[in-house]
Each structure stands twice: as structure tokens, then as C-alpha cells.
Amino acid sequence: MELRQLRYFAQAAQDRSISKAAQALHIVQPALTAQIKALEEELGVRLLDRSPMGVSLTPAGAKVLKQANDILARVGRLLQDARGRPASTQSRVVRVGIPNAMTGAFAGQLIQAARQELGVAVEIVESMSGFLLEWLKSQRIDVGLLFAGQAAHGLDTRPLLQEALHLAGPPGALRVRRPVEMGDLGSYPLILPSARHGLGKLVRMHAREYGVRLNIQTTVDSVTEIKHLVGLGQGYSILAPLAMQAELARRALSSAPIRNPGMPRVLVTATLKKLDPQSAAAQVRNLIHELDMQTPRLRAA
């Protein structure tokens, strides 16, 4: 087993795509595929399920990914110690993890502002919040945008914005001016993320608290795929307007607020508690909060 095989597998799992992972690693796709297959053969388990939509972790793959991330993080720390340089001065590249479908809200502004104001290159990593939490703890990303309520042991969190979740439906099925009662959510066939991710956990928590029995038809750990299925009329979901603003603008989806009560969630920035306050990552985190104050689009209605 080689470290590069673990790194290739972790990248493919992170990007949920062999082609995207190959681009990020600057290797050709067949070479990446061959290395992952070699790792699967050595371990004797299938790590990834392949489909035309990309790749997804198998149950065995999820277990291996956690250990692979731990190994890669330890190797990174070993290299830093051997070179006698702290992580804060080793690089001016900061990896920021953002929940699925939210990168369009401000990623471009963050990348530009970090380059111009801080001289820092920001790399955006988009995934479900549960994966971002794991990658932040294993130091595969430096700053994560997570949701309040996720396991934050060992992390420093700071509130960024509060969003009111909406019921999302196929085109024309819902109207913003016609809110949906919390108690009526059980009558909609829902497509939701699993409870390991912030959104799925929050929705289930609210439903239990108010005695609503949700009709969860399908569990999908990809907001992009959830929106695709809802747009095709396969069901409904519960999402933040910020995560579906492009689809709402072109009327590929419809939405309605949830009321009596509403379903709010708080987005936070998170870093490791031991982060050097003078590091590039700490500076980028502060910049994210400045962009929030300057950008109305970040404040969900």
C-alpha cells in the first residue's frame, strides 16, 4: 500500500468524481482509476460505487476514508516537524470547505479578496457538512463552514449567518407567498440527506421536537442530486434559499417558507482551536466574516 493510493482515494471521495479528482491531483484519469482499484484489491473491499453521476462511498469506503484522512494528516504533521516549520508559515494556500450548493453565494468574492488583501490563495472544497466536519478535524481543510449543532469538540466556531429553511418542490408546485405549516410537512414525500450531515440532522430534530412524522422517501447525501431529483418531480425537500437561488431564479425549482414554527439554522465558521491567530487560515476566516457583513446575498430571507 502506498501513500499516494490513500491520497488519490481521499481526493476522489472528497470530489465525488474521478475526473475532478484527477484534475485536482494533476494526473490522468486512467492512472487515478488504476491506483484506486489497486487499493481496493489490496484491502479486499470495494471503496467506491461508480455511476454516470460520479462516485460515492460504500460503507467500507467510509470507514477506510476516516483512517486514510488520519494517516495523511499525521504524515503532513511529520513533514512539518521534520522541516522545522510551523504550518502557519509553510504555505499561503488556505483550503476552505463550503456546504454543497453554497459556493456560488460568495466563493468568487472570497478568492479574489484573499488574493488581493492577504496575498493568500484560497482553494474551495465543496461537500456535505458531515464530510467537511471530518476533513476539518483531520486537517484536510483549514476553515470549514458548518452548521450549529454539529459535533464541535476541539473546534472553535463563530456564527456567520442564520437561514430560514424552505420546503423545496418541483417547478410551479409551491409559492413563496403561500407558507407551509410545520405540521403539514408529513404530507410531502421528502428527499433528504442522512442524519450524519447538518441539514438532515436539523430537519429530523425539528420534526421530532414538534411531533411531525416526516415522510422520507429517499435519502441522498448530495444537495446537488437532491435538487435534480426534486426538479424532475421525484419528491420534495427542505433546503435553504441560499442553496437553491440559481434554480429558483431560472424556475427549475419552487419553494415556500415553513411556519408555525419556522425552521431556522445557523451557519458557522469553524477552525481547530489550536489554530495560530496570525496564520493565513485565521486571516481568511476573518475575511469571510467581513464579506458576510458587506454582502446582502449572504443573509437569507
Each residue's pLDDT tens digit, 66-124? 888 888 777 766 755 654 544 444 458 999 999 876 776 678 888 888 888 888 899 99
- At residue 90, the pLDDT reads 45
Residue with more model confidence, 201 or 78: 201
Q: Which of 299, 260, 244, 300 is nearest to 179 (CA)?
A: 260
* Identity of the residue numbered 252: A
What residue spans of 44-167 are helical by DSSP H?
A: 59-83, 87-90, 103-113, 129-137
- At residue 295, the pLDDT reads 33
Each residue's pLDDT tens digit, 203-242? 999 999 999 999 999 999 888 899 999 999 999 999 988 8
Q: Which CATH architecture has domain 3-83?
A: Orthogonal Bundle (1.10)
Tell me which of 32-36, 151-155, 190-194, 200-204 is least confident. 151-155
* Identity of the residue numbered 226: I
d(CA 143, CA 133): 10
- At residue 88, the pLDDT reads 46
Percent of the chain residues topping a pLDDT of 90: 40
Q: What integer best gives the mean pLDDT of the chain?
A: 85
Q: Which of 17, 72, 93, 25 is nearest to 49 (CA)?
A: 17
**Where do you find CATH 3.40.190.10 in the chain?**
93-160+266-290, 162-265
**Where do you find CATH 1.10.10.10 in the chain?**
3-83
Percent of the chain residues topping a pLDDT of 70: 89
- At residue 91, the pLDDT reads 52
What residue spans of the chain are helical by DSSP H?
A: 3-15, 18-25, 29-43, 59-83, 87-90, 103-113, 129-137, 198-209, 223-231, 245-249, 280-294
- At residue 298, the pLDDT reads 31
What residue spans of 84-174 are helical by DSSP H?
A: 87-90, 103-113, 129-137
Tell me which of 97-111, 119-133, 175-189, 267-281 is least confident. 97-111
- At residue 255, the pLDDT reads 96
* Identity of the residue numbered 80: Q
d(CA 134, CA 270): 12
Question: C-alpha angle 28/103/190, rounded to 5°?
Answer: 100
Q: Which of 128, 117, 13, 136 is nearest to 64 (CA)?
A: 13
Domain 162-265: state its class: alpha beta
- At residue 85, the pLDDT reads 47
Q: What is the number of residues in the chain?
A: 301
Domain 93-160+266-290: state its class: alpha beta
Is 0.75 surpassed by the pTM of this model? Answer: no
Burial class (CB in 10 A: 0-12, 13-18, 19+), 136: buried
